[in-house]
Homo-oligomer: A and B are copies of this chain.
Amino acid sequence: MRQSQLFTKTKKEVPAGEVAKNAQLLIKGGYVFKNMAGAYSFLPLGLKVIGKINKIIREEMDAIGGQEMVMASLQDSSLWEATDRWDDKNVDVWFKSELKAGGVVGLAWTHEEVITDLMRQFISSYKDLPQYPYQIQKKFRNEMRAKSGIMRTREFDMKDLYSFSATEEQHQEFYEKCAAAYMKIFNRLGIGHKTYKTFASGGAFSKFSHEFQTLAEAGEDVVYVNEEKGIALNEEVIDEVDLAEFGVAKDELVKMKSIEVGNIFSLGTKFSEALDLNFTDETGLSKPVIMGSYGIGPARAMGTVVDLLSDDKGIVWPEAIAPFNIHLVLLNSDDAETKDWADGFYTSLQANGIEVLYDDRDARAGEKFADSDLLGLPYRIVASKKTKAEGKFEVVTRATGEVRYLNESEIFADFDSNPET
């Protein structure tokens, strides 16, 4: 894409009160726009990143048997009263609104009740199990305080998968499979090396639930980690557990800040019992379905990547989720021959299926380099009068600062056509 045609621009300023590093960089880069506290718009470059994150999530969910769908946001009270989650006294994040036709509706902040009701249509026998519907869909949460930039907002897309199993064994097998898929996702997103599956408080149906926590200074959470042993526990359980069980002593654990990038829950039969989701087993006995829920927020993952991998010059995108892999930066744009030649190179890159943002704007070199660092595409290739004369391009790797001098054919050999799509 030609940067001169992109409707967004980089900015020097961020709205007053926007203190989170992720939002500051993403707003400056023209990736997101803040509509109000806790509500952001995703601009073309930002939506491309989200699209790539969603694609990775979908691939890993489909690979373990997930079936994508999308559920409604508007909710009447009936299902939620059955599980005691309608009253504002029990759930403090509802957005509720009067319906003109009479009555009150709420905006779904999660979908356990909705999917349980829906699956009653389709589950009656053990032969209908297991099933793994999921969606990437917008949740609304009436947070008292929106914070951490795009990481704790009042509306956000969430990938939520729900598992429906006939037996505890069937449930556990999928639970482990999904935990492994989550680590694959975080590895592909470029934050796997800092992400731990942690032990968190379990609720009523299992000793622990699990969260995926990424170690980061900007985190709202606190975990106790032993990096060598690969063990992490959430702060809320650290004093309640027998650490010997985990083969670790308290003084071997380091207290660190972290971001919750995913969670998985065993729900037991809480929702199926409350909402009558039953099946007939092999012996003809009616039993409630065993459920689990599994969440990842794509925007929170995006914010975590920005917080974790950026430097003082700007964002550093991993190749898998960068909006474009290459930033082709034209200098000496007033020289017609240089511009023609760079235009031709841009066209060749595109023809070779390489994702490229082409900074064809009339602007000073210093401004272009600063913008390029801020935008953070994985590779910068400079096309200039000098480059043209020498027949070699300067190729700079954003993450490491490594500089290479490559000619056209070396560049085509080096860059795969779009590796992730």
Q: Chain B: which residue is nearest A51 at the CB level?
A: B68
Chain A residues 89-120 with CB under 8 Å of chain B are 92-93, 95-101, 105, 107, 114, 118-119
Q: Which residues of B contact A7 (CB under 8 A)?
A: 67, 119, 122, 128, 131, 133
Is A145 an interface residue when CB atoms closer than 8 A count as contact? yes
Alpha-carbon gap, A235 to B50, bound state (A): 43
Q: Chain B: which residue is nearest A76 at the CB level?
A: B36
Q: Which residues of B contact A38 (CB under 8 A)?
A: 74
Q: Which residues of B contact A145 (CB under 8 A)?
A: 101
Q: Which of B44, B68, B121, B142 contacts A100 (CB 8 A)?
A: B142
Is A47 an interface residue when CB atoms closer than 8 A count as contact? yes
Beyond A7-B131, A8-B122, A33-B118, is A155–B39 a contact (Cβ under 8 Å)? Answer: no
Is A63 an interface residue when CB atoms closer than 8 A count as contact? no
The smallest C-beta distance from A48 to any residue of chain B, in angstroms, reads 9
Q: Mark A159-173, 1 if CB is under 8 A from B, else 0.
A: 000000000000000
Is A143 an interface residue when CB atoms closer than 8 A count as contact? yes
Chain A residues 105-155 with CB under 8 Å of chain B are 105, 107, 114, 118-119, 121-122, 128, 131, 133, 138, 140, 142-146, 154-155
A39 touches B99 (CB 8 A): no
Is A208 an interface residue when CB atoms closer than 8 A count as contact? no
Q: Which of B39, B47, B73 contacts A72 (CB 8 A)?
A: B39
Q: Which residues of B contact A37 (CB under 8 A)?
A: 101
Task: Report 5 cross-chain contacts, Cβ distance below 8 Å, ordered by A residue.
Answer: A7-B67, A35-B71, A95-B105, A97-B142, A138-B138
